Every structure is written in C-alpha cells, then in structure tokens.
Amino acid sequence: MDGLRQRFERLLEQRNLATEALGALEAKTGVDRRYLAAGAASLLSLYLLFGFGASLLCNVIGFVYPAYASIKAIESPSKDDDTTWLVYWVVYGLFGLAEFFSDLLLSWFPFYYAGKCAFLLFCMVPGPWNGAHMLYHRAIRPLFLKHHEAVDSIVREFSGRALDVAAGITRDVPSLSPPPREAVP
C-alpha cells in the first residue's frame, strides 16, 4: 500500500494542468493537495456509480485528456510519445467497436461506467503499467501480424471496387452545366 501512496504522491508532484489546478486550490483553501485529489477522485467515482450522465462523463474522461496529450505529442520532436498515444487510440477504437455491439447488455450491469472509466484510465496510465501498451502487445499486435495480409487483400479489393463504382456513377450523371443557348435569328 505504501508503494501505491508513493506513486500517487509522485504523480501529484508532476507539473501538468491537474496538479497546477490542485496547487491553486491548495493555496486558496489551505487543504493539502493529496486530500483534494483523493476527494475529487472519490466524488468522480461516486458520480460514475450513481450519477445521471455517467456515460457522457466516462466518454469525456476517455477522450479529452488523451486528445490533448496526442496533440502535444504531435507537436513534440520525440516519436515515443506519438507511438504511446497511437497505441491508446487503437485500443480505444477497438474497445468502442466492441462496446457498440455489446452496449445494450453491458450498460445494464451495475457499476459498468465506473468499470469502463477505470479501464480507460488504466489504458492511459504513463509508464510500464500502461494498459493500452500491454493490450496492444499481448493481444492486438499478434492478431494483426497473423491476419494483416488477408485484411490488406480485402481492403485492396474493396477500394478497387469502390473506385470502379465511383467512376461509373460520375460517368452516368448528366452534366450540371446549363444547356447551350440557341442563337437568336
């Protein structure tokens, strides 16, 4: 438990938007930032468990910070942070696809949105415990390497057909230019 507390305190010492906001609140209220962060996390958890709009809040948590971090990664000269967030978006997209097909069943489970939010936070944790990185390297990448040639073939075939259909449609559509004017005698 001490290791978790130490990691939590190291996280609160980093400079980012959240810790700066906690620092400002700490200065105004006189309450230690550890208690403020723990209180915010507790309120967030309770809202995800019992609040109206937990789905929206969960999706905002899973999208807003990763989108911001992705933009910062694109603008940085390092490639490592780009890869980190690309891996997150691959996992996020596959999770969203799986959720689309199972949402009617899963949303009826108690604490679903708290679990979903915990999963998304697990996927964006920095460092060696990054869930997106673990899922990608243990499940998604091996599956991709096994089947990517077949998928590439299917994509080439469908894109060729789509181009043929688009060319056929543009050939068959009458011109939208006005008809030529007849000469007046």
DSSP state of 128: T
Domain membership of residue 68 (yes or no) is yes
Is residue 135 classed exposed, middle or buried when 0-12, 13-18 and 19+ CB atoms within 10 A define those classes? buried
Tokens (6 digits) for 40 = 């915010």
The reported pTM is 0.69
CA atoms within 13 A on the CB side of 10: 8
Within-domain flag for 184: no
- Structural domain boundaries, residue 146: 48-159
Phi/psi class of residue 53: alpha, beta or left (left: φ > 0; alpha: ψ in -120 to 50)?
left
Provide the number of structural domains found in the chain: 1
Note whether residue 147 is domain-resident: yes
Q: Is residue 41 part of a domain?
A: no
Residue 19, domain member (yes or no): no
AA letter at 165: V
Contact predicate 9/34, CB 8 Å: yes
In a domain, 16, yes or no: no
Is 140 contained in some domain? yes
Cα angle at 124 between 93 and 133, to 5 degrees?
Answer: 75
Whether 125 is covered by a domain: the verdict is yes
Q: What is the pLDDT along the chain (185 residues), one digit of tens a residue?
A: 666 677 667 777 777 667 778 888 888 888 888 888 888 888 877 777 777 878 888 888 899 989 999 999 999 998 888 999 999 999 999 999 998 888 777 767 778 888 888 999 999 988 788 899 999 999 999 999 999 999 999 999 988 888 888 888 877 666 555 666 676 66
